[in-house]
Structure 1
Amino acid sequence: MTQVAPDRRAANHWPGLHAVPSGPRAAVSARVARGLFRAAVSQLDVSVLLEGRTIGRGGPVMVIHRPEEFFARLGRDQLIGFGESYLTGAWDAEDLGGFLEVLAARMATLVPEPLQRLRRLVVRRPPAEELSSDANAQGNIAHHYDLSNELFELFLDPTLSYSSALFSASQLAARPTVEELEDAQGAKVERLLDQAGVGEGTRLLEIGSGWGELAIRAARRGATVRTITLSVEQQRLARERIGAAGFADRVEVELRDYRHVEGTFDAVVSVEMIEAVGWQYWPTYFATIDRVLAPGGRVAIQAITMPHDRMLATRNTWTWINKYIFPGGFLPSVQVIDEVTREHTTLRMAAPFSLGPSYAETLRLWDETFLAASEKVLALGFDETFLRMWHFYLEYSRAGFASGYLDVHQLTFTRESR
């Protein structure tokens, strides 16, 4: 079994998580947070049980067990405090995803517009050590992907695909089952390989190895694959899986930053890795792809995206997801990807293909499987707080896609003729 340091397995080792904000400034910010929260919730289709009263217009239920703590955290740390108060049990929601979906659908307007202008004075900026620079990138990736291969095996399907599946319209209408997830993950990968034109003799670069599924499928088509990752744990298991599939002679799994890739490739693919690049490095990321792509080559990327205006408003904000799940991560918009590639590369983007509804269902299935495996998660050395953290992360993410606030796209690029 892979051994991981205790503070990586237990969320309650995060400094200050169980210390409730106190003092005069905390008291003032808590009062402000209480007023803003009550005003926002009163306009939403939710039911919030607070101090013997119910607020909201009716819908998924939130129960605030410890109001003083909840508002103290919300006042000091905004959405980070909102998530942290869930981790400590200050509030609960039986239908957590349903409750968060209502909030996500109104994310841009929950705070009154005049106060939104003060955003820069209130929200915390990402710590410098989490900037996805050459020096920090591997640590950021290890924070999440090196937690434990066994953890991911407990809730992912047999392909170990940790990205949106692609369900058919009929599957989405009928609500996909966990038994359908493996084939839907395969459909996602095969479509991306088709878009990149991967076939017999293709020299393929994959940026972000995952646990090797895409590389295996590309090799099965006759491609030779170089796949890169910054996760030691992913590299180890990906090599094992690729070897077991009989493609060790066709696939090379390297521990390498994308910035340092050399060579020439007929196709470049990357599945949900751009989210870890950081907005400061998007030009470098795409310029690297442009540099290594052979004449006539194609690029296919799967990217989680957010609305362009929200991207601009939040790109200097440190979020709960950054602090607890993906340090250094940030979501692009489709518009900014098009703008960056046009300004910094010869790559030109074709019409985007959306998988958003499929991601909402993928996350639902992951969360259901994760919760069913709670005892096994604890047996790996994780604690009860980690269980709440991971459940919140999966449902928080699902709410983004179910509400339409987030989307995920497969984006295809070809080189502009020179």
Structure 2
Amino acid sequence: MTTTRPATTPDAPATRPAVPAPRPAPDAPAPTPWPDITTVPRSSRARGAVTAALLRRALRELPLRVRFGDGDGDGEPVGRGGPVLEVRDPDAFHARIGTGGLVGFGESYMAGEWDAPDLVGALTVLAAHAAELVPAPLQRLRGLWAPRHPGAERNTPDGSRSNISRHYDLSNDLFALFLDDTLSYSAAVFRGFPATWDLLAAAQRRKVDRLLDLAGVGAGTRLLEIGTGWGELALRAADRGARVTSLTLSREQRALALERVRAAGLADRVSIELCDYREARGTYDAVVSVEMIEAVGAEFWPVYFRTLDDRLAPGGRAALQAITMPHERMLATRDTFTWIHKYVFPGGLIPSTRAIEETARDHTRLRPVRRDGFGAHYAETLRLWRERFTARADDVEALGFDATFRRLWTFYLAYSEAGFRSGYLDVHQYLFTKEDPAR
């Protein structure tokens, strides 16, 4: 498989400041690529003590064993037993969480200040008790203490291009190291568990085929795909005889997807456009979008669904695959800037099933007629990606991605897997139909 060269310097941080940093003097030392990781934030002794007390109070009630490098009074681990979490540098750990909350928790892992022999197991416990970790009085005051999204990361057309590029344009070679041959970067559908690597490609094709079946895609179908990925869905739709227009904001993904289309001899049936969904034109028999809505942002969900409605012919069908979270947690956290936003998916927001269905109802003529959840399949998909990423750490390093980046992505994949294993996250395939007024 041919891939393209990295679009960015690999050992640069996976996030960019919302405001450009001042240009250093000519004789100044080169800036560190991870300034928020190499430097522990300053925290007063009083704040550190309060943070430590609140953390240990919360952790005592969890099925975890948390060991602090300085012990806990009599040296016993904190918690009720279960997966072990080793805090190697309690002062730095408390300082980061006291000043940055959950952003600091993730950064502390990136810095190597804590670890866990079973990282997914420990994070699964924390995800399952996410609503209980912050005391209720502080939850009600979240708007005062939780960081908010930078204005530069709003998903306007220009903001979306920047946000998408910061993740998907890292390097096609990087993604190819841990994805299967289909280069699918979304939940697969397995026939049974446990899943194994040699079954992943077939499970990804099964996922794609289920979506194409939901949308009724066949010979002669005019299909609009919002979010190309690396082209697997467009290829399989064209194999059915459909004529596909696929939209992406990632230059790197588009370049490789076009290579795959040409290699398959399907260039006459597939058009891949570097285009925002809001700029789409034309009328289609079917629209398919796989795990794209998470990058839209709540502010633009009505626009996204109106685009589906406007582009879909009367009597047409739209099939969506969407990650979801509980509605109450979505409402509580929707304005909070998280570690995932800072380092992995800037501008993203996972919707709830209620938010999806209410937005479609209130802003479009689309009606949901089917919804299938399969969160356990996503947990297995992420496990296979994480294991592959870990096994190929030397190859990741050879691409120029440093140790901090590798810990970042290990945490991201484990953190995501834990979300699905705990049930905090789910994934659904939706079918929406648009009634034909002539009938």
Which TM-score bucket, shorter chain as reference?
A: over 0.9
2:186 to 160, 163, 176: 163
The residue correspondences of 1:48-63 to structure 2 (distance < 5 A) are 48-50=66-68, 51-52=70-71, 53=75, 54-63=77-86
Contact 1:8/1:147 (<8 A) preserved: no
How far off its partner does 1:127 sit?
0.2
The residue correspondences of 1:14-413 to structure 2 (distance < 5 A) are 14-24=34-44, 27-50=45-68, 51-52=70-71, 53=75, 54-168=77-191, 171-172=192-193, 175-413=194-432
Letter in 2 for 1:89: G
Contact 2:11/2:400 (<8 A) preserved: no
List per-residue Cα deviations over 1:143-199 (Å, max 9, x = no partner). 00000000000000000000000012xx22xx1111111110011000000000000
SS at match of 1:254: strand
Counterparts of 1:227 and 1:29, CA distance in 2: 51
The runs of at least 4 aligned residues of structure 1 exceeding 3 Å deviation read 7-12
Please give the root-mean-square deviation of Cα atoms over the aligned residues, in Å. 1.2
Calculate percent identity across the aligned residue pairs: 57
Letter in 2 for 1:20: V
Counterparts of 1:402 and 1:23, CA distance in 2: 34
Distance 1:395 1:200, change over 3 A: same
List per-residue Cα deviations over 1:257-316 (Å, max 9, x = no partner). 000000000000000011000110000000011001011100000000000001111110
How far off its partner does 1:224 sit?
0.2
SS at match of 1:21: coil
How far off its partner does 1:324 sit?
0.1
TM-score (norm 2): 0.92
Letter in 1 for 2:39: A
Gaps of 5+ in 2: 15-31
Higher normalized helix content (fraction of residues): 1
How far off its partner does 1:15 sit?
3.6
Contact 2:297/2:347 (<8 A) preserved: yes
Contact 2:277/2:304 (<8 A) preserved: yes
List per-residue Cα deviations over 1:226-264 (Å, max 9, x = no partner). 001000000000000111111111000000000000000
List per-residue Cα deviations over 1:3-51 (Å, max 9, x = no partner). 3433664556244322211153xx3332222112101111111111112
TM-score (norm 1): 0.96
Distance 1:7 1:370, change over 3 A: closer
Counterparts of 2:264 and 2:419, CA distance in 1: 36
Letter in 1 for 2:55: F
Gaps of 5+ in 1: none
Counterparts of 2:40 and 2:385, CA distance in 1: 31
Distance 1:21 1:10, change over 3 A: closer
Counterparts of 2:100 and 2:368, CA distance in 1: 38
SS at match of 1:136: helix
Contact 1:10/1:382 (<8 A) preserved: no
Counterparts of 2:168 and 2:91, CA distance in 1: 35
Counterparts of 2:207 and 2:43, CA distance in 1: 51
Residue 9 (structure 2) aligns with: 6
Counterparts of 1:221 and 1:282, CA distance in 2: 30
Contact 1:165/1:362 (<8 A) preserved: yes
Residue 27 (structure 2) aligns with: none
Counterparts of 2:6 and 2:336, CA distance in 1: 33
Counterparts of 1:68 and 1:49, CA distance in 2: 13
How far off its partner does 1:358 sit?
0.1
Contact 1:7/1:13 (<8 A) preserved: no
Contact 1:218/1:225 (<8 A) preserved: yes
Distance 1:44 1:23, change over 3 A: closer
